[in-house]
Every structure is written in C-alpha cells, then in structure tokens.
Amino acid sequence: MDQISNMIIMMKNASLAGKETVSVPASKLKNAILECLKKEGYISKFSKKNKKSQPILEVDLIYTDKKPRITDVDRVSKQSRRVYFGMKDIYSVRNGTGLLVLSTPKGIMSGKQARKEQVGGEVLFKIW
C-alpha cells in the first residue's frame, strides 16, 4: 500500500473524528512531509517515538473553533501514475485555502514555497 496515502488518510480521518493525535509509522519522507505541514499550519507538532520497538510519528492535529484544520485530502501522484509540475504549472488549491505538497530537487515543499524557489517537481497531494 502507498505509505503517503495511508498517512494523509489517517490524519484526515482522525481530525474528522475529533482525535487530538494520530500515530503513523515513521520514515524520512513522512518526516519531511510533516515538517512541511507544520510550517504551513496544518498540524501543531509531531514527534518520533518507539512503540513495541517500531519507530512511529506522533502527530498533533489543529482545530479552529472545534472545526478540524484538515477536512479533506486528495492524492495526486500515485504509484501507478506519477504527476509532475513545472514551476509555471503550480496553482493555488481552493483559492488559497488549501495546500499543494510537492517533492522537488530541493526537498519536500508547499506549492507557494516551490513557486518562490522557482522549482517544480512531483505533486504528492492536495490538502484543505
């Protein structure tokens, strides 16, 4: 199964269920994605822990006025179909209320940051 899809769906389901935290299996890519989401204000913090000798990432979710910050996600680039955007192809998600997360040669970054750095890459997912 696609590990990135699994992580973002777990975060969406936990936030819609009203959970404060969610635990996902750890990896360097997930760590970089969570760092980008933290920088953009979609999660408050995350920490790496060991549970039964397996590394996990404990993610703290954000709620504003009892509404979850993460309401939906859309995986763009899948294992069967990779989607790449150039710098000029990057667009705003939901008129600026959402976030486009890309894997670029300079690392994982949001769509706004990628346009600022003038770099394109593989579109991982959209979140709003």
Give the model confidence (pLDDT) of 29-63 as tens digits.
Answer: 999 999 999 999 999 999 999 988 899 999 999 99
d(CA 119, CA 111): 10
Q: Residue 1: pLDDT above 90?
A: no
Residue 14 banded pLDDT, cuts 50, 70, 90: very high
- What's the half-sphere exposure (Cβ side, CA atoms, 13 Å) at 16? 10
d(CA 6, CA 19): 17
Q: What is the pLDDT of residues 90-126, one digit of tens each?
A: 999 999 999 999 999 999 999 999 999 999 999 999 9
Averaged pLDDT for residues 2-15:
96
Q: Residue 85: pLDDT above 90?
A: yes
Say what the pLDDT of residue 73 is: 97
Say what the pLDDT of residue 122 is: 97
Query: What architecture is domain 3-127?
Result: 2-Layer Sandwich (3.30)
Cα torsion through 75, 34, 20, 24, rounded to 10: 70
- pTM tops 0.85: yes
